[in-house]
Amino acid sequence: MATVTFDQASRFYPGSDVPAVDRLDLDIGDGEFLVLVGPSGCGKSTTLRMLAGLEDVDEGAIHIGDRDVTNLPPRERDIAMVFQSYALYPHMTVAQNMGFALEMAKVPKEERSARVLEAARILDLEPYLDRRPKALSGGQRQRVAMGRAIVRQPKVFLMDEPLSNLDAKLRVSTRSQIAALQKRLGVTTVYVTHDQVEAMTMGDRVAVLKDGVLQQCDTPLALYKKPANNFVAGFIGSPSMNIREFKVANGHARIGELDVPLSRDELGVLAREGSDSVLLGFRPESVDLVGAGEGFPVVVRLVEELGADAYLYGSIVGTEDAEAADIVTRVDPARTPRIGETVYLRVRPGQEHAFSPQTGERLG
Amino acid sequence: MLTPSLPAPTATKPRQPPAPRTLTAGERWRLRAPLLPALVFAIALTQVPFLLTLYYSVQSQNLLRPGSKEFVGLANYGKVFTDELFRNAVFNTVTLTASTVILSMLLGIGLAVLLDKKFLGRSVVRTLLITPFLVMPAAAALLWKTSMFNPVFGLVNWMLSPFGVDNVDWASRYPMPAIVGVLVWQWTPFMMLIVLAGLQSQSPEVLEAAKVDGANAWQTFRRVTLPHLRQFIELAILLGSIFIVQTFDAIFMITQGGPGQATTNLPYFIYQQAFRAFDVGEAAAAGVIVVVATITIAMVALRVISNLFTEESA
Ligand SMILES: Nc1ncnc2c1ncn2[C@@H]1O[C@H](COP(=O)(O)OP(=O)(O)O)[C@@H](O)[C@H]1O
Ligand SMILES: [Mg+2]
């Protein structure tokens, strides 16, 4: 069990002068479940592989516990990794796969089989111990990959999109099993995914990456409530937040025909930047249908009914730029507006997010 | 297969292709006709000589005594099996094939492992390493005989001269090792290519998993890579053996099967029987025996290949 620290760690792939991971600073607590999330190609796997020792750290340092592991080979780091493809040894049985690391560590045979059996029991793999990976289903292979990691009782678990090869239903159930198992074992875990739902449901904390740069690292709720910039705001939450640029006049942002007050701090930052507009975001679920004149008018273009929820796709009336006018909101499925109708919407006070139109950083 | 006499579709087969339309006999022949010349050509070229060989193998015929031809049943086969020289040729063939295959396989694995790494000029090195396989066997043998093994001007002696070796006539002092050396030089690229294909078909993530699991380079090779390569190696050994059993050029060019019978293998023995002793009957019988033995090996090889494909696709 150990903490993990990234200290200004960077990785430049040969032949590229843009870093795949750019001066990453990250402190992961003992026993914490940290999720790295971000769009494809943002450097999640590279970060994880740097921690595993499979990728060089070109600048900065990485510590596991109080040991500097920056230049140590993988086998001296005491970590276990679950690969996206599972990477099981095809010619070994399930038991041999799980016992391989212990064998390399010269653990005596009796202890080895006891630990493999224990892991197999936890993961419901006992009937399959003598099978080859080829003869297992996708879900079973995934569990063998997990088993190979947990028999080692390592300092840190590393998991790179371990659920992406499972079907949607199995993914949801395995998701909660992995989270529960991690809580039970209490091993520090770094988990990579591109799926923000996975990140939000599994992580103690979630680190959002974009283009190799850490955007924000916080609890799932804090990411949802107080995104640090417009990228995080748009990435976390489904359907994603409506973020549009609106003109600022007299201390208010003007949405269609409605004036939304901005705080003194927010206005201060905008004034210093010299911006006469603001990036304003509001989540589909932060919007209420109100009577005429109390909100901004929206023409309904499409209504999606999902049973428990309904989503309204519409355009704000009175905005010149047609693209900037499109928004999504959640509405009561019992009273959905008709297509072509004009409805009035209001963002619940305090649930709007203001960002700088120049830097995308959160204001105030 | 064209008539709809297939068994009813079973539950495990969800979809059956639509049954092909039944063709009349005339239509079938019209469709096949364009293939006939190729078929006739292939049969004429392979099966007619084989049938002739079978025919000669049951005749007693010596070209030195014209008109001596008569049917002798299996007597030629009996003669072959009791012939001291034939047994010597079998022994030489086995020695030659086994040592060539083993040495070229070991070298091939080593070179393949090196070629599997990334380095500057890798494709040039790979091309150079393949060239011995592309040189015509007779030309290669001539080259080795004259410029490598020559006791006075040979490069082998020149290279070994700092170690106190001088004017050794390799082809007559160490005939078998000399032939094996030439064949290893020629066959190492073949082994290397097949093993390299095996190495490159291995998932890099599996190797990384072994690293993370604490295996060092040798343990990874021994426990993860080698089991993966096993079928590739088996395949290369079997295919290589089939070809190397038939070696003729190197022996004909370098040692003429000698000194004495030291390097006479089966093909050279058959050649001697037919064109030196002019005993066509015994040569034909020996030829049939070699063909049967080679086909047996080939069938094992084919089974390995099909195993390989089913394993990979599973
Ligand atoms: N072996 C490599 N060589 C060169 N560039 C690479 C290599 N692996 C990844 N990259 C680049 O580094 C960036 C981050 O990749 P990666 O960490 O795999 O992203 P993610 O896992 O978040 O999808 C990408 O732009 C990718 O193209
Ligand atoms: Mg990735």
| pLDDT(A330) > 50 | yes
Listed as ranges, residues in chain B with pLDDT below 70 are: 1-21, 305, 308-314
Tell me the HSE value of A110 on the side-chain side, using a 13 A CA sphere: 0
The whole domain housing A340 covers: 243-355
Cross-chain CB nearest to B205 (options A73, A85, A134): A85
Tokens coding B67: 């008109």
- Residue A362 placed within a domain: no
| Residues A247 and A200 both lie in one domain | no
A44 CB under 6 A from ligand 1?
yes
A17 CB under 6 A from ligand 1?
no
* Mean pLDDT (whole number) for A257-270: 87
What confidence score (pLDDT) does residue B10 get?
44
Residue pointed to by tokens 């990794």: A81
Indicate which atom in ligand 1 lies nearest the CA of residue A48.
17
Give the C-alpha separation, A24 to A209, whole Å: 10
Residue predicted with more confidence, B158 or A303: A303
- Residue A351 placed within a domain: yes
Ligand 2 center to B222 CA (angstroms): 29
User: Which 8-state DSSP code applies to residue B11?
Assistant: T
| Residues A270 and A167 both lie in one domain | no
A43 CB under 6 A from ligand 1?
yes
- Residue A286 placed within a domain: yes
Q: Does A88 reach chain B within 8 Å, measured CB to CB?
A: yes
Give the C-alpha separation, A49 to A27, whole Å: 17
Tokens coding B292: 């049967």
- Are A91 and B227 within 8 A, CB to CB? yes
Cross-chain CB nearest to B212 (options A79, A88, A134): A79
Residues A136-170: tens digit of each pLDDT? 998 999 999 999 999 999 999 999 999 988 888 88
**Contacts B215 to A, Cβ<8 Å:** 75, 100, 104
A18 CB under 6 A from ligand 1?
no
Q: Does B208 reach chain A within 8 Å, measured CB to CB?
A: yes
Percentages helix, strand, coil for chain B (3-state, rounded to 5) are 70, 0, 25
Among A234, A260, A285, the domain boundary falls at A234
- Residue A360 placed within a domain: no
| Contact by Cβ (8 Å): B166, B80 | no
Among A210, A234, A258, the domain boundary falls at A234
- Are B212 and A88 within 8 A, CB to CB? no
For chain A, what percent of residues have pLDDT higher than 70? 98
- Residue A363 placed within a domain: no
What confidence score (pLDDT) does residue A35 get?
96
DSSP string across B196-260: HHHHHTS-HHHHHHHHHTT--HHHHIIIIIHHHHHHHHHHHHHHHHHHHHT--HHHHHHTTT-ST
| Residues A345 and A322 both lie in one domain | yes
Residue nearest to atom 9 of ligand 1 (CA): A46
- Are B228 and A90 within 8 A, CB to CB? yes
* Mean pLDDT (whole number) for A350-361: 91
DSSP string across B227-238: HHHHHHHHHHHH
Strand order in the sheet with A287-290: A287-290, A342-347, A296-305, A310-316, A326-331
Among A213, A234, A255, the domain boundary falls at A234
A56 CB under 6 A from ligand 1?
no
In the A/B pair of chains, how many CB contacts fall below 8 A?
62
SS3 per-residue string spanning A239-265: CCCEEEEEEEECCEEEECCEEEECCHH
Q: Which of A16, A45, A213 to mutate to test the pocket of ligand 1 (most atoms within 8 A of CB)?
A: A45
Give the C-alpha separation, B250 to B244, whole Å: 11
DSSP string across A275-333: -SEEEEEE-GGGEEEE-TTSSEEEEEEEEEE-SS-EEEEEEETT-SSHHHHEEEEEE-T
Ligand 1 center to A47 CA (angstroms): 10
Q: Does B205 reach chain A within 8 Å, measured CB to CB?
A: yes
User: Which CATH code is given to the segment(s) B70-313?
Assistant: 1.10.3720.10
Cross-chain CB nearest to B205 (options A87, A101, A152): A87
| Residues A139 and A259 both lie in one domain | no
| Residues A83 and A225 both lie in one domain | yes
| Residues A168 and A287 both lie in one domain | no
Tell me the HSE value of B39 on the side-chain side, using a 13 A CA sphere: 5
What confidence score (pLDDT) does residue B5 get?
42
| Contact by Cβ (8 Å): B221, B262 | no
Report the CATH number that the domain containing residue A303 is assigned in CATH. Answer: 2.40.50.140
Neighbours of ion ligand 2 (CB under 5 A): A 45
Tokens coding B309: 């494909």
Tell me the average pLDDT of chain A.
91
| Residues A208 and A258 both lie in one domain | no
Tell me the HSE value of A270 on the side-chain side, using a 13 A CA sphere: 27
Q: Which of A24, A44, A46 to mutate to test the pocket of ligand 1 (most atoms within 8 A of CB)?
A: A46
Cross-chain CB nearest to B209 (options A87, A91, A105): A87
Task: For this complex, say whether ipTM is above 0.90.
Answer: no
Give the C-alpha separation, B93 to B303, whole Å: 24
| Residues A139 and A263 both lie in one domain | no
Residue in A closest to B214 by C-alpha: A75
Indicate which atom in ligand 1 lies nearest the CA of residue A160.
21
**Contacts A52 to B, Cβ<8 Å:** 208, 212
Q: Does B42 reach chain A within 8 Å, measured CB to CB?
A: no
Residues A27-40: tens digit of each pLDDT? 999 999 999 999 99
Tokens coding B215: 């295996």
What confidence score (pLDDT) does residue A343 get?
92
Residue nearest to atom 26 of ligand 1 (CA): A41
What confidence score (pLDDT) does residue A321 get?
67
The C-alpha angle A265, A208, A266, rounded to 5 degrees, equals 10
Helical (H) or strand (E) element with B194 = helix B175-200
Cross-chain CB nearest to A54 (options B211, B215, B223): B211
- Residue A361 placed within a domain: no
Nearest CA of chain B to the CA of A179: how many Å?
22
Q: Does A57 reach chain B within 8 Å, measured CB to CB?
A: no
Indicate which atom in ligand 1 lies nearest the CA of residue A209.
22
A20 CB under 6 A from ligand 1?
yes
Residue nearest to atom 17 of ligand 1 (CA): A43
DSSP string across B157-191: HHHHGGGT--S--HHHHSHHHHHHHHHHHHHHHHH
Q: Does A348 reach chain B within 8 Å, measured CB to CB?
A: no
Window 226-255 of B, Cβ < 8 Å to A: 227-228
- Are B228 and A91 within 8 A, CB to CB? yes
| Residues A226 and A249 both lie in one domain | no
Report the CATH number that the domain containing residue A130 is assigned in CATH. Answer: 3.40.50.300
Helix (H, G, I), strand (E, B), or coil: what is residue B279? strand
Residues A85-128: tens digit of each pLDDT? 999 999 999 999 999 999 998 999 999 999 999 999 999 999 99
What confidence score (pLDDT) does residue B19 get?
60
Mutate to test the interface with B, among A49, A103, A160 (most CBs of B within 10 A): A103
What confidence score (pLDDT) does residue A312 get?
93
| Contact by Cβ (8 Å): B258, B175 | yes
SS3 per-residue string spanning B107-138: HHHHHHHHHCCCCCCHHHHHHHHHHHHHCCHH
Count structural domains, chain A.
2
| Residues A55 and A112 both lie in one domain | yes
| Residues A264 and A332 both lie in one domain | yes
| Residues A169 and A303 both lie in one domain | no
User: Which 8-state DSSP code applies to residue B145?
Assistant: I
Give the C-alpha separation, B48 to B63, whole Å: 21
* Whole-angstrom Cα Rg for chain A: 25
Residue nearest to atom 1 of ligand 1 (CA): A13
